[in-house]
Amino acid sequence: MEKMRMESMDMTAQNIEKIGALFPNCITETVDENGKMKKAVNFDLLRQMLSGDVVEGDEVYEFTWVGKKAAIVEANKPIRKTLRPCKEDSVNWDTTENLYIEGDNLEVLKLLQESYLGKVKMIYIDPPYNTGNDFIYRDDFKQSADEYEGDLGVYDDDGNRMFKNTDSNGRFHSDWCSMIYSRLMLARNLLRDDGVIFISIDEMEHDNLKKICDEIFGESNFVSDIIWKRKRGRDNSARWFSKAHEYLLLYSKNKELFNTGYLELDEETKKAYKNPDNDPRGDYRMLGCWARGTQGGVKYDFTTKEGLYFPERLWLFNKENLTKLDKDNKLIIRGDNIYRKMFIYENKGKIPETLWDDVSNAANASDEIKKIFDGIVFDTPKPTPYIKRMIEIATDKDATILDFFSGSATTANAVMKMNAEDNGNRKFILVQLPETISENSNATKAGFENICEIGKERIRRAGAKIKEENPNVDFDSGFRVFKLDESNMKDIFYAPAEYDQNMLSGLESNIKEDRTDLDLLFGCLLEWGLPLSMPYTSEVISGCTVHTYNEGDLITCFDENIPDEVVKTIAKRQPLRAVFRDSSFDGSPAKINVTEVFKLLAPNTRVKVI
């Protein structure tokens, strides 16, 4: 019977397998730190395999910094952690499809690699801008906790890795580049093939971020560099220029598959559509059919279905299309000119522009927070209409939207508003480190201990407010809360999959005593690659608690001494997967019996133990 890994995917091993499938001659063997043989890549040979010329020297065009290779290693390194469900902080736990995850986003992204691989339509992140005054994540490849314990930043008892990156740091830009690079590597894996990522940034790291995105997503998948006018008015105290804007970089996973959504027509544009002849098809505009200036066109003469003749000229449409417009009664004759009716229902909307000076600014965002919390409790939030515009451009009504620097949870607010407006079923996944709030802040005075507490409360209040404003619309205003924690398995020298029966015989249980059935269930979901938002049921069968996830995608029972009748009941339901505790069975004969039961009653079910 197979054992579950109970750790995140080993991205390096997976990448080596992919390379080996294409270039088997480039795979070699080496010895790991424990003296065991493992596969490795002969990079010199791989470089030669990818070149038509003899490869010599190491001069290549590339963007690099101190710590880049370590950042790649860190992104690929597996971790032995899990996401523990927190029902008491959640809203509508049993029915919601939204997720709020507390923890270091690098580690959370690793844990989501299998469950959400290729499933996210849109990512929006508002990472630290590296201004010298904000905090950034300091990851394992930097230095140990003991080495930077005395830094100016935050390193709390839970191991939150944050530090204040001042410009006196000799690796000021390098540290920031390493931090964002590893996270974007993992984030790209989660995007659908037609998915996109929006990243807010200012001029401090804009150029570096664009180079990093060109490398991770590919230069050909760059979509736009949007300028958002975040500030109204002028700051005359500025030394050189009054700063009024930020950047919003937009990349796709595959630009050929990404179709930009059109923005809804504004009221001023709608006023241009009229219906003077009471056409039953509705309001329309009159547009000329002839080509002008640099528009190009097709030259021919034309006769309408009523017999009106127009000598040869340049038309915007070919003769076949102009004839069809005439046949569909969409042409209007005015003297020597022909106009076509462009009905308002035919207008897909406005194509987005690269200058966003018509959405809410930073002051509006602060007012928005103030209304929700009866006072400002969060600095520099993004306004909801700003993120709503991204959603309008980039998503369909069933999209999954991820924000792994979620801050005050504006993304969740925007998703709920959008769903209420167009009856959508978009889902959000928010990830945020529970950073401690300054003791002197308004948020602390209001009773909030960390940023996650603000984010969760905002979703609760915003969801209730949107429901109040839209009483006849049914949308998902709930969210399941998960908290990053150490593995459900006890701290051991070996990985869980490396244990054998002889080694386990000396242990009462390899699972930590404080872990519940739900902890174990959702830990299994991460390894099996199942989403965390699906419904499940729990029932008691012959004294044992049995959990059925998403109508049989997975059935689990973590009780001790599970009787045969329970095993047979589960097998008869023929789930796709089944998981038990290793200690649920008394020795190898009992395990062999379980294997035989499933072979007989559910031969297609994969059975594992933890």
pLDDT in tens, 57-86: 666 677 888 888 888 888 889 999 999 999
Domain check: are 464 and 592 in the same one?
A: no
Q: Which amino acid is at 514?
A: D
Residue where one domain finishes, among candidates 314, 346, 378: 346
Domain check: are 132 and 238 in the same one?
A: yes
Helix (H, G, I), strand (E, B) or coil at 372: helix
Domain check: are 114 and 257 in the same one?
A: yes
Q: Which amino acid is at 453?
A: E
285 band by pLDDT with thresholds 50, 70 and 90: very high
Q: In this model, does residue 286 exceed pLDDT 90?
A: yes
Domain check: are 389 and 304 in the same one?
A: no
Domain check: are 415 and 533 in the same one?
A: no
Residue where one domain finishes, among candidates 325, 346, 367: 346
pLDDT at 141: 38
> Is 488 a domain residue?
no
Which residue in 551, 578, 576, 552 sits closest to 567, CA to CA? 578
> Is 11 a domain residue?
yes
Domain check: are 337 and 272 in the same one?
A: yes
Contacts of 93 (CB under 8 A, 6+ apart): 87, 478, 480
Cα separations in angstroms, 583 against 418, 506, 579, 587: 48, 12, 12, 8
Assign 3-class secondary structure to 449-476.
Answer: CEHHHHHHHHHHHHHHHHHHHCCCCCCC
> Is 112 a domain residue?
yes
pLDDT at 569: 96
The more confidently predicted of residues 294 and 451 is: 451
> Is 154 a domain residue?
yes
pLDDT at 168: 53
pLDDT in tens, 568-608: 999 999 999 999 998 888 777 888 899 999 999 999 999 99
Helix (H, G, I), strand (E, B) or coil at 261: coil
Using an 8 Å Cβ cutoff, are 86 and 150 in contact? no
User: The domain containing residue 550 runs over which residues?
Assistant: 499-609
pLDDT in tens, 109-155: 999 999 999 999 999 999 998 876 665 666 653 434 344 333 333 44
Using an 8 Å Cβ cutoff, are 210 and 218 in contact? no
pLDDT at 308: 93
Residue 435 carries which DSSP code? P
> Is 111 a domain residue?
yes
pLDDT at 490: 86
Rounded Cα gap, residues 526 and 532, in angstroms: 8
Domain check: are 393 and 518 in the same one?
A: no
The more confidently predicted of residues 70 and 1 is: 70
> Is 77 a domain residue?
no
Rounded Cα gap, residues 225 and 220, in angstroms: 14
Domain check: are 438 and 521 in the same one?
A: no
pLDDT in tens, 470-514: 999 999 999 999 999 999 998 764 555 565 655 545 456 789 999
Average pLDDT over residues 176-180: 93
pLDDT in tens, 213-262: 999 999 999 999 999 998 877 777 777 887 889 999 999 999 999 988 88
The more confidently predicted of residues 553 and 260 is: 553
pLDDT in tens, 38-63: 788 888 778 767 776 655 666 667 78
Which range among 185-194, 339-348, 357-366 has the greatest average pLDDT? Answer: 185-194
Which residue in 497, 464, 491 sits closest to 479, CA to CA? 464
Which residue in 338, 195, 189 sits closest to 254, CA to CA? 195
Average pLDDT over residues 154-159: 47
23 band by pLDDT with thresholds 50, 70 and 90: confident
The tokens for 541 are 């069968």
Q: In this model, does residue 97 exceed pLDDT 70?
A: yes
Total number of domains in the chain: 4
pLDDT at 167: 59
pLDDT at 368: 87
> Is 67 a domain residue?
no
pTM for the full model?
0.81
pLDDT at 150: 37
Q: The domain spanning residue 126 has which CATH number?
A: 3.40.50.150
Domain check: are 449 and 468 in the same one?
A: yes
Rounded Cα gap, residues 26 and 43, in angstroms: 7
Name the average pLDDT for the chain. 86
Domain check: are 257 and 287 in the same one?
A: no
Domain check: are 382 and 234 in the same one?
A: yes
Domain check: are 567 and 532 in the same one?
A: yes
Residue where one domain finishes, among candidates 303, 324, 346: 346
> Is 560 a domain residue?
yes
- Percent of the chain exceeding pLDDT 90 equals 56
Cα separations in angstroms, 302 against 319, 354, 520, 539, 570: 8, 40, 74, 76, 75
Average pLDDT over residues 173-185: 92
